[in-house]
């Protein structure tokens, strides 16, 4: 990895020499923007475009214009993050990588299909996601610092905003649904569990014989922390599930490897790196037993029977959840899902289709209120596959916003508008005082911000 100062010197030489200006078919890569001492490559734009398509983002406008500008804006915020000494805990990044991996696999159906579409092995994608998550979190922190807390809106400001909008400009509120879910995990054969434990014992023996725990984690761990050698970053007990935390905090010798510990995520071995009071930094290797296809089919058959019993009114969906659902987040709430995405629906049972887990959204989109779905496979937050059935509890179809029904959504729109005005003013000043160079072939764009092209 070239350090940033050296990287910039190298890029400047390449720009001046024209080594990247060969015929299109022979280009390995090309520098298209330079922002401060950071370069944006043509491959960066293509990776971002593929990633947006993979996540189902609708591309409006020319991606080869708005994506480079978005990357340039991100670099300006990241430069401020350096100035403000902002960083992101390794444990938070690791959890984010796991979420990304689960999301992509659920969208495409398998790891192999993800790798095929993204044109990269999963190990390389995890490293890319680590960087993306770290950057996004730092940008978010910088933006919050810029906006500050002095922009709280009053109800009268929201009503005034609504009253001033022309009727044909009123925001459209997306369809929202409330969903109850019942999940069951397939039975994992003891032989598969034994295989995982045997592999972990082998890793422990190899570490005790002098092999690097970090290298083994990079090669074999199924957790998002794998590219970082399994390192989780300094964390307190509350940041981990109890079984993992208890084992991590019981370790005292950095040369020793823990016994195998089972959590809802799978099976782990752990090695302590350093302890600072109530915080500890550890690395770990996570393995999950493989679930045979026949066990998934048996689970599907069980859920089929449960769904038929509900439809035949032998028992209610709520009763079935109480007696047989594996989902600890919804089991005590009659199966009702709660929205944890950052939106006006946070903390409520209301979801837009985009806010639901991908597999749930695909099923619910075609359902009627009160209907029970057929069993379907889904990826849980812990990275394990499960079978599920859902009941559509309510649906509020998309509609033009009104103050009485959509106050919270309107408040969020007005707040976002004020925040964007503050951020735009900050960015325009930052652009004005930052060196920017754009390749001649990439300047013919209608940019969102002015000042990129210096007179």
Contact predicate 133/88, CB 8 Å: yes
DSSP per residue, 48-92: HHHHHHHTT----S-HHHHHHHHHHHHHHHHHHHHHTT----HHH
Residue-by-residue pLDDT tens, the chain, 455 positions = 333 333 333 333 333 333 333 333 344 689 999 999 899 999 999 988 888 887 777 788 899 999 999 999 999 999 999 999 988 887 788 778 877 887 787 777 778 888 888 888 888 888 888 888 999 999 999 999 998 865 677 888 888 888 888 888 888 888 999 999 999 999 999 999 999 999 999 999 999 999 999 999 999 999 888 888 998 888 888 888 999 999 999 999 999 999 999 999 999 999 999 988 888 999 999 999 999 999 999 999 999 999 999 999 999 999 999 999 998 889 989 999 999 887 778 889 999 999 999 899 999 999 999 999 999 999 888 888 899 999 999 999 999 888 888 888 888 888 888 888 899 999 999 999 999 999 999 999 999 999 998 76
Domain with CATH 1.10.4030.10 in the chain: 27-149+415-442
CATH match of 175-188+292-397 with 3.40.47.10: no
Which residue pairs from 336-341 have beta carbons closer than 8 angstroms and sit at least 24 positions apart in sequence?
336/178, 336/179, 336/180, 336/393, 337/178, 337/179, 337/180, 337/181
With a CB cutoff of 8 Å and minimum separation 6, the contacts of 65 are: 442, 445, 446, 447
Query: CA nearest 323: which of 313, 331, 312, 333?
Result: 331
At 169 the pLDDT is: 81
Instruction: Compute φ and ψ for 437, nearest 5 degrees.
Output: -130, 130
User: Would you give the end-to-end CA distance of the chain in angstroms?
Assistant: 35
How far, in Å, CA of 413 to CA of 416, rounded? 5
How far, in Å, CA of 126 to CA of 132, rounded? 10
Global pTM reads: 0.59
DSSP per residue, 37-60: TEEEEHHHHHHHHHHHHHTT----
At 28 the pLDDT is: 63
At 151 the pLDDT is: 62
How far, in Å, CA of 211 to CA of 163, rounded? 69
Domain with CATH 3.10.50.40 in the chain: 175-188+292-397, 190-287
At 13 the pLDDT is: 33
- Two tokens, residue 60: 């409006």
- CATH fold of 27-149+415-442 reads Triger factor/SurA peptide-binding fold (1.10.4030)
HSE, CB side, 13 Å, CA atoms: give it for residue 127.
9
Instruction: Tell the residue number behind the tokens 């000042």, with chain if given.
Output: 451
Pick the CATH number of 190-287 from 3.60.150.10, 3.40.50.300, 3.10.450.30, 3.10.50.40: 3.10.50.40
Instruction: Compute φ and ψ for 66, nearest 5 degrees.
Output: -80, -30
- Two tokens, residue 228: 């970082």
- Two tokens, residue 316: 């209610």
The string over 341-374, giving b where at least 16 C-beta atoms fall within 10 Å of a residue's C-beta and e elsewhere, is: eebbbeeebbbbeebbbbbbbebbeebeeeebbe
| Alpha-carbon torsion, ordered 143, 147, 151, 155, to 10 deg | -20
């Amino acid at each position: 990895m070239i350090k940033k100062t050296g990287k910039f010197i190298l890029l400047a030489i390449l720009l001046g020499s024209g080594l990247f200006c060969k015929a299109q078919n022979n280009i390995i890569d090309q520098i298209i923007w330079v922002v401060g001492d950071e370069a944006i490559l043509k491959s960066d734009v293509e990776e971002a475009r593929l990633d947006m398509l993979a996540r189902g983002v609708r591309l409006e406008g020319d991606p080869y214009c708005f994506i480079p500008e978005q990357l340039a804006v991100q670099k300006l915020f990241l430069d401020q993050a350096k100035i403000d000494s902002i960083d992101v805990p390794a444990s938070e990044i690791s959890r984010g990588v796991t979420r990304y991996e689960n999301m992509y696999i659920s969208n495409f159906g398998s790891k192999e299909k993800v790798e095929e579409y993204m044109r990269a092995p999963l190990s390389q994608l995890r490293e890319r996601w680590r960087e993306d998550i770290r950057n996004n979190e730092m940008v978010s922190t910088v933006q919050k610092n810029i906006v500050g807390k002095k922009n709280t809106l009053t109800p009268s400001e929201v009503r005034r905003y609504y009253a001033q909008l022309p009727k044909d400009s009123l925001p459209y509120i997306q369809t929202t649904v409330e969903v109850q879910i019942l999940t069951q995990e397939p039975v994992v054969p003891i032989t598969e569990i034994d295989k995982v434990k045997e592999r972990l014992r082998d890793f422990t023996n190899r570490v005790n014989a002098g092999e690097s725990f970090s290298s083994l984690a990079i090669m074999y761990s199924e957790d998002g922390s794998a590219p970082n050698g399994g390192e989780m970053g300094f964390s307190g007990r509350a940041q981990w599930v109890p079984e993992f935390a208890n084992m991590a905090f019981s370790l005292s010798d950095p040369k020793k490897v823990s016994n195998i510990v089972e959590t809802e995520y799978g099976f782990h071995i752990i090695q302590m790196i350093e302890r600072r009071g109530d915080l500890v930094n550890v690395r770990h290797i996570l393995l999950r037993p493989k679930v045979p296809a026949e066990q998934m089919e048996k689970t599907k058959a069980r859920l089929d029977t449960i769904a038929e019993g509900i439809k035949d009114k032998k028992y209610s969906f709520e009763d079935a959840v109480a007696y047989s659902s594996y989902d600890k987040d919804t089991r005590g709430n009659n199966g009702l899902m709660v929205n944890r995405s950052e939106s006006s629906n946070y903390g409520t049972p209301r979801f837009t289709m985009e806010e639901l887990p991908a597999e749930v959204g695909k099923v619910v989109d075609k359902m009627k209120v009160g209907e029970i779905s057929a069993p379907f496979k889904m990826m849980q937050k812990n990275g394990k596959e499960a079978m599920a059935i859902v009941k559509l509890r309510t649906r509020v179809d998309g509609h033009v916003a009104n103050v009485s029904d959509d106050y919270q959504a309107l408040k969020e729109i007005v707040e976002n508008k004020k925040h964007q005005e503050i951020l735009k003013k900050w960015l325009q000043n930052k652009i004005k005082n930052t060196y920017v160079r754009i390749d001649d072939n990439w300047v013919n764009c209608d940019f969102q911000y002015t000042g990129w092209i210096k007179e």
